[in-house]
């Protein structure tokens, strides 16, 4: 049977009002609330992806949205990532603001050509004559014990591509606001969602928009060593900082939030104070976001540094079977090992 959709029709619920106050939400639910708000704010916002309709996405991030907005704004597309991104480009030319869900990090590559040779360059090729307000949401990273192609960290490929913006929230509050900021951007945004952080709850303030989209943020003050990371790595860094504090070492933790462009101001200020910098990431280290930060800090803050900038990364291998992922991914202990090396220098 291929000619009919036998699923029960989505029952469209009454569109609700803007949420207010503060609520404790998991990051996945915060993105859901942010998507909903963006769709309420702008009728040109539409969602595209695989299984994002009645199922609500494999991580349920789009749950309830097809009921509220209907199947002309929540498109359960054919199973073809290049097709999704390529048609989103055409929809953007027509004035829409498509928000795409790539089901898993490892499945973005069939769309790599449309993202890098078309989406990223379309405005430039048109000499400013078109805008490409397309957001590509990508659940990424490890720590969920899954199978091959389901735990990747491919953000560096996209950060290397001119024309794209690349961001990653680490908290529910950032997730709620950053997804709306990304959707409002007239440039294409790769929105990397740390999937191991989908479930823990955090306070979401629906009333006050925090920092701009492209701003790094100090999330824990410290004085001995600066440690920076993005996405789920921020949690690892905060755990490391707790342990270090017990041992009498003060770590300053910085959440990068925006990978491209990268806001170096707070990192430079912190290094001025600590003289030591560790960059941690779930991605492999060779030609990585961490490499870029290390190089830039070495160029700009050479005389402030008391030790070489050190990177803590996953190994330069394919993501291994999940049984050994805890040894593969940077842990608080590996961060602390680097802290010790930096302090001993």
Partner 1 sequence: MAANSNDFSVPTVQLLAPDGTFAPNEAAEEFVPYFERLTDADHERFYREMVVIRRFDREAANLQRQGQLALWVPSHGQEAAQVGSAFATRPQDHIFPSYREHVVGKMRGLDVVDVLRMLKGLTLGGWVPEENGNFHLYTLVLASQTLHATGYAMGMQFDGATATGDPERDEAVIVYFGDGASSQGDASEALVFAASYQTPQVFFLQNNGWAISVPASRQSRTPFALRGHGFGMRSNRIDGNDVFASYAVTAKHLDDARAGRGPALIEAMTYRVGAHTTADDPTKYRLDADLADWVAKDPIVRLKAYLENRGVAQSFLDDVEQEAADFASDARKRALEVVAPDQDVIFDNVYAEANATLVEERAWFEAYEASFEEAQS
Within its chain, how far is the Cα of 168 from the centroid? 2
Task: Find where tokens 């097709």 sit.
Answer: 83
CA distances from 303 to 57, 184, 268, 275, 306 (A): 49, 40, 12, 9, 8
Residue 225: which of 253, 255, 191 has the closest Cα? 253
R_g of the chain computed on alpha carbons: 20
Residue 160: which of 208, 112, 206, 194 has the closest Cα? 112
Q: How far is the CB of 95 from partner 1 (least distance, A)?
A: 7
Q: Which helix (H) or strand (E) holds 259?
A: strand 258-260
DSSP of 62-99 = TTTHHHHH-TTTEEE--S-HHHHHHHHHHHHHTT-EEE
Q: Are strands 201-205 and 225-229 parallel, antiparallel or unpaired?
A: unpaired
Q: How far is the CB of 85 from partner 1 (least distance, A)?
A: 8
Verify whether residue 150 is a known catalytic residue: yes
Q: How far is the CB of 121 from partner 1 (least distance, A)?
A: 8
- Token readout for 306 is 């008391």
Q: How far is the CB of 105 from partner 1 (least distance, A)?
A: 20
Name the catalytic one among 150, 160, 214, 230. Answer: 150
Choice between 196 and 258, CB closer to partner 1: 258
Choice between 131 and 250, CB closer to partner 1: 131
Choice between 24 and 117, CB closer to partner 1: 117
Q: How far is the CB of 51 from partner 1 (least distance, A)?
A: 15
Choice between 259 and 336, CB closer to partner 1: 259
Contact of 254 with 228, CB cutoff 8 Å: yes
Choice between 25 and 66, CB closer to partner 1: 66
Choice between 2 and 20, CB closer to partner 1: 2
Q: How far is the CB of 177 from partner 1 (least distance, A)?
A: 17
In the complex, which residues of this chain contact partner 1 (CB under 8 A)?
A: 46, 72, 77-78, 80, 82-83, 85-96, 110, 113-114, 117-118, 121, 123-129, 131, 162-163, 165, 185-187, 214, 260-263
Q: If DSSP codes are grouped into helix, strand and coil, which group holds residue 2? A: coil
- Token readout for 128 is 């400013």
Contact of 99 with 132, CB cutoff 8 Å: no
Report the alpha-carbon distance of residue 80 to residue 96 in Å, rounded: 20
Active site residues: 150
């Amino acid at each position: 049977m291929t000619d009919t959709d036998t699923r029960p029709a989505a029952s469209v619920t009454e569109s609700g009002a803007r949420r207010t106050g503060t609520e404790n939400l998991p990051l996945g639910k915060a993105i859901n609330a942010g998507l909903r708000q963006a769709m309420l704010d702008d009728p040109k916002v539409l969602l595209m992806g695989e299984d994002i309709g009645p199922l609500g996405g494999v991580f349920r991030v789009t749950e309830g949205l097809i009921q509220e907005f209907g199947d002309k704004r929540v498109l359960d597309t054919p199973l073809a990532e290049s097709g999704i991104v390529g048609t989103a480009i055409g929809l953007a030319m027509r004035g829409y603001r498509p928000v795409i869900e790539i089901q898993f990090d490892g499945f973005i590559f069939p769309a790599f050509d449309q993202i890098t040779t078309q989406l990223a360059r379309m405005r430039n090729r048109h000499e400013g004559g078109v805008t490409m307000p397309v957001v590509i949401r990508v659940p990424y990273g490890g720590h969920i014990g899954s199978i091959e192609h389901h735990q990747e960290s491919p953000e560096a490929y996209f950060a290397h591509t001119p024309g794209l913006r690349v961001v990653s929230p680490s908290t529910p509050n950032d997730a709620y606001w950053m997804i709306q900021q990304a959707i409002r951007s007239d440039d294409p945004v790769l929105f990397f969602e740390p999937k191991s952080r989908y479930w823990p709850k955090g306070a979401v303030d629906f009333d006050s928009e925090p920092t701009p989209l492209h701003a790094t943020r100090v999330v824990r003050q410290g004085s001995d060593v600066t440690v920076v990371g993005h996405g789920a790595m921020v949690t690892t860094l905060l755990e490391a900082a707790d342990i270090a504090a017990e041992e009498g070492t003060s770590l300053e933790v910085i959440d990068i939030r925006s990978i491209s462009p990268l806001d170096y101001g707070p990192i430079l200020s912190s290094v001025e104070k600590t003289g030591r910098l560790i960059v941690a990431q779930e991605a492999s280290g060779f030609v990585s976001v961490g490499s870029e930060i290390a190089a830039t800090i070495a160029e700009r803050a050479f005389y402030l540094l008391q030790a070489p900038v050190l990177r803590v990364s996953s190994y330069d291998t394919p993501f291994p079977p999940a049984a050994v992922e805890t040894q593969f991914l940077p842990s608080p202990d590996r961060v602390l090992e680097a802290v010790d090396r930096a302090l001993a220098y």
